[in-house]
Amino acid sequence: MSAPTTSASAPRTRTRLSRTTKRGITVGVIAAVLVGMALGTRVVSADDPLALGVEEFSAEDFGVEQFEIVQEGVIDRSVDAEVLAAAIAEDPEAAADQYAVPSSGGPVFSVSLTGVVGDGQSGIYEIQVDGLPDDLLVRVQTGPAINGTELRDATGAYEFGEFTNQIAFQNAAAALNDELKLRVLESVDTENLSGQTVSLVGAFTLVNPAAWLITPVEVTVQ
Rounded distance between C-alpha atoms, residue 88 and residue 76, angstroms: 19
Q: Please state the φ and ψ torsions of residue 172, each to the nearest 5 degrees.
A: -65, -40
Rounded distance between C-alpha atoms, residue 216 and residue 114, angstroms: 12
Q: Does the pLDDT at position 188 exceed 70?
A: yes
pLDDT for the residue numbered 28: 53
Spatial CB neighbours of 112, under 8 Å, sequence gap ≥ 6 = 75, 78, 79, 80, 81, 199, 200, 201
Smallest Cα–Cα separation from 194: which of 109, 128, 104, 112? 128
Q: Does the pLDDT at position 9 exceed 80?
A: no
Average pLDDT, the chain: 84
**pTM given for the model:** 0.75
Smallest Cα–Cα separation from 133: which of 195, 89, 79? 89
Rounded distance between C-alpha atoms, residue 55 and residue 41, angstroms: 23
